[in-house]
Amino acid sequence: MFAPNGSVRAPYARVEKWLENLGNEVIERALRESEARFRRQGITFAVYGDDKASERLIPFDIVPRIFSASEWRRLSAGIEQRVRAMNAFLHDLYHRQEILRAGRIPYDVIIQNEAFVPEMVGVNPVKGIYAHIMGIDIVRVNENEFYVLEDNCRTPSGVSYMLEDREAMMFLFPELFAQQRVAPVENYPAMLRKTLDSVAPPTTRNEPTVVVLTPGIHNSAFFEHAFLADEMGVELCEGDDLFVSDGWLYMRTTQKPRRVDVVYRRIDDAYLDPLAFRPDSNLGVPGIFDVYRAGHVTLVNAPGTGVADDKSIYTFMPDIIRFYTGDKPLLNNVPTWRCSHAGDLSYVLEHLSELVVKEVHGSGGYGMLVGPTSSKAEIELFREKIKTRPTNYIAQPTLALSAVPTFTQSGIAARHVDLRPFVLSGDQIRITTGGLTRVALKEGSLVVNSSQGGGTKDTWVLED
Amino acid sequence: MLGRTASSLYWMSRYVERAENMARLLEVGYRISLMPGAIEGHRDEWRSTLTSAACEQSYTEKHGDIDGAKVIHFLLFDESNSSSVKSCLKTARNNGRAVRTALTRDVWESLNSTWNELAQIAPENITSDRLPEFLEWVKQRAMGFRGALLGTMLRTDNYYFSQLGNFIERADNTARILDVKYFILLPRPSDVGSDLDTQQWAQVLRSVSAHRAYRWFYKDSHYKPWLVSEFLILKEEMPRSLLFTYNWVNLALDGLGELYGSRYACHEIAMETHDRLKNGNMEQIFQNGLHEFLQDFMAANNSLSQSIATTYNFP
């Protein structure tokens, strides 16, 4: 919120005044109301390995994160460029593999990657799109510079929090929205529906039948699955509700079976089809992959997209963007060391206390080391892990992440945030005007993941 | 609509109804336990409560001897007992959660806040003196749920499947209470017409919240087994009678028949059961045996439930 010289940045001017006049009592009441609201509506997520609190609320902070229209335009252009390159890259990987032939990425990085699905080679998804739904994690390091922290193109979650946070803010502080024009985010479900409809297979008769496929009520993001299905007006299915017959996909209804054209699946590749992938999966639909390959159904995202958001690929993203768009990347990567490189590895091992080390295939903030906030013992433990399997790790500098005002136990204080805008690719690219801002609630912490005690904020893009 | 959605709606409503019925049964058990022990036969009231709730066997396996406090805990909070109030509300809520998209916000929030409030209640705080207040809460929450359902759900298949679960459960409950009380509590012919007799019938009525309604309806303050049975079986004015529940079951099935344009075996089973009640008379029922009549009814009710599940592709 503050510029380096300590002044309040322009987009925050009004909110800063509002905050000044807001008593702690009002804030506490608002927090109580919002918590009761989330609880009553069942807006919860599950934490794995925690039986007692199997459903928790994600802490919601009442101070919005704000971008000006021009900042957002710049960011959007960079995101769009990245997403286009990502889809071109995936299409290439599963077809001619030009980028590998050109020697820009080593074969091994792709072929030995667990997220690469050889069964997808030669398959032609509708409109050539693999990653229809992406969440790009972005951090701001100074006035004009944003870094992409991570690309999420498997099944990025959190969009329901973006929408519910906005609802909560409008409910608690309607006066704020009267004072300035905040770009809407509530059109996301309609945008998603349009995107899904636009990638229905050519065999679709009449209106496409779209479903959301969920692993079930025990999944951590079940609320979001139900929420999106509801908002889009489509059925929420579990694997058992779908079946394959004569090369087509159907759902079991109270009447005749109904043909399904597009599946927005929130199930990982490995569990999608026990006949094609993990045979012990009872979450998926036997035979669905064959139906997909025959072009009779669209899977969103396509199987095998995970290879593009892998952290070992991440380091190649600038090259990937240049290779497919011919342009300079508009959004930068965080400088990254690959522990698979001998030179990088020795640097990382020498500087562990300054670095953030992540597992190449990890997600959700599990299994990572944040050097500056870790004890000596923790660092030594991690050192051994890295030495045992260097290819499994990458390292990044701890960034001077932007901090925004957040309500804490000791009043309003600065806390680090990141941002996840959601990007849809179909007949066109659609980006949410805003996104999910995640905030590290612990003082000094850089870890924003909800599974690790992070919270969320409403994100505003001010209109000109 | 997905078969699974229909199934979840059906069971959601069944379990809320069952939680409410459990609360009523416990209310009766509690009342009797407060009465002076002078009236013989009442010491068995907790056993009878367990039997009416179809939980006697599972209780005995777990606890052995009948003990008031243990029975109350078993029927309210024991999650190993699938019919305890807590299990019922949990199952209802899980079913509702799975089909969140098929519910209105009001219905879902009613279910969800009931569960959240229940999760805050420590079983050890529900001591004997606070039991009535808690049971009242359970009933109020169940009625609030039904109110939200009746007041906000579109009259389409979502609504019909919920209604089927609700009334098939209620029919089973009323039949079972009548059967248990009649068959177990009145084994000796010499008791018939005694004070004990009157007390027992009062409790039967109470467990379906009908003791006052009975007096209004029959303009008679003396409970007669004949009339009590008639009231609970054949009188469609009485909202927990078998005929009343089958009127609603048929309305829901007719709704589905019209919406989907087909009628199936389940429609016939329901209509047959309904007609038997509609054209029934107590004289004949008693002549052939009330117990046999009720057993037949429960079997038919159960086969209706199964037929609905098969017809509409419940998983």
**Does A254 contact chain B (CB < 8 Å)?**
yes
Q: State residue B85's pLDDT score.
A: 97
pLDDT > 70: percent of chain A: 95
Residue A11 near residue A65 (C-beta atoms within 8 A): no
Contact list, B161 vs chain A (CB under 8 Å):
254
Query: How does DSSP classify residue B153?
Result: S
Q: State residue A207's pLDDT score.
A: 93
**Which tokens go with A221?**
């993001």
Q: State residue A252's pLDDT score.
A: 96
When CB atoms are compared, the residue of A40, A217, A252 closest to B98 is A217
> Bigger pLDDT: B74 or A22?
B74
**Which tokens go with B129?**
């003196």
Contact A240 B101 (CB under 8 A): no
A369 pLDDT more than 90: no
Q: State residue B39's pLDDT score.
A: 47
Q: State residue A52's pLDDT score.
A: 46
Domain topology for A338-397:
Dna Ligase; domain 1 (3.30.1490)
Q: State residue B238's pLDDT score.
A: 95
Contact B315 A241 (CB under 8 A): yes
Q: How many Cβ atoms are within 10 Å of A11's Cβ, its own excluded? A: 22
Please give the Cα distance from A356 to A370 (Å, whole number): 5
A432 pLDDT more than 90: yes
State the greatest distance between any 2 C-alpha atoms of chain A, in Å, as a whole number. Answer: 68
User: Could you give the count of Cα atoms lying within 13 Å of A165 in the half-sphere of its Cβ?
Assistant: 26
**Does A36 contact chain B (CB < 8 Å)?**
no
Cα distances (Å, whole numbers) of residue B18 to B64, B77, B153, B172:
24, 14, 21, 10
pLDDT averaged per 10 residues, chain B (length 315): 96 98 90 64 73 91 90 95 96 92 91 92 88 95 97 95 98 91 61 64 84 88 84 95 98 97 96 96 90 95 97 95
A343 pLDDT more than 60: yes
Q: State residue B192's pLDDT score.
A: 57
Q: What is the mean pLDDT of chain A?
A: 89
Q: Bin B118: left if φ > 0, else alpha if -120 < ψ < 50, else beta.
A: alpha
Contact list, B310 vs chain A (CB under 8 Å):
none
Helix/strand/coil for A422: strand
Q: State residue A261's pLDDT score.
A: 98
Q: State residue A342's pLDDT score.
A: 85
Kindly state the average pLDDT of the residues A34-63. 71
With CA atoms as reference, report the closest residue to A432 among A160, A188, A193, A134.
A188
- Listed by start position, the domains of chain A span 10-201+297-334+399-461, 202-296, 338-397
Kindly state the average pLDDT of the residues A411-437. 93
Contact list, A240 vs chain B (CB under 8 Å):
4, 315
Q: In what order do the strands lie in the sheet with A262-265?
A: A235-237, A210-213, A262-265, A298-300
Q: Tell me whether residue A301 is exposed, middle or buried, using C-beta atoms within 10 angstroms of its C-beta: 0 to 12, 13 to 18, 19 or more.
A: buried
> Bigger pLDDT: A304 or A52?
A304
Cα distances (Å, whole numbers) of residue A377 to A356, A368, A369, A388, A431:
16, 14, 12, 17, 43
Amino acid at B41: G
CATH class of A202-296: alpha beta
Kindly state the average pLDDT of the residues A421-438. 95
Q: How many Cβ atoms are within 10 Å of B22's Cβ, its own excluded? A: 28
Q: Bin A42: left if φ > 0, else alpha if -120 < ψ < 50, else beta.
A: left
Q: State residue A159's pLDDT score.
A: 92
When CB atoms are compared, the residue of B3, B98, B101 closest to A253 is B3
Which ranges of A243-331 does DSSP label H, i.e. alpha helix?
288-293, 311-314, 317-325
Q: State residue A398's pLDDT score.
A: 81
Helix/strand/coil for A139: strand
Please give the Cα distance from B285 to B266 (Å, whole number): 24
- How far off is chain A from B220, nearest CA to CA, in Å? 46
What is the tens place of the pLDDT at every residue in A63-119?
Answer: 999 999 999 999 999 999 999 999 999 999 999 999 999 999 999 889 888 899 999
Please give the Cα distance from B59 to B76 (Å, whole number): 12
- Enumerate residues 243 to 262 of chain B having a beta carbon within 8 A of any beta carbon in chain A: 256, 260
When CB atoms are compared, the residue of B5, B94, B113 closest to A40 is B113
Compare all CA atoms of chain B with the CA of A254 and give the residue at the minimum distance. Answer: B312
Kindly state the average pLDDT of the residues A38-44. 76
Q: State residue A35's pLDDT score.
A: 83
Backbone angles phi, psi at B236, to 5 degrees: -75, -5
Q: State residue B188's pLDDT score.
A: 58
What is the tens place of the pLDDT at every residue in A161-219?
Answer: 999 999 989 988 888 888 889 999 999 999 999 999 999 999 998 899 999 999 998 88
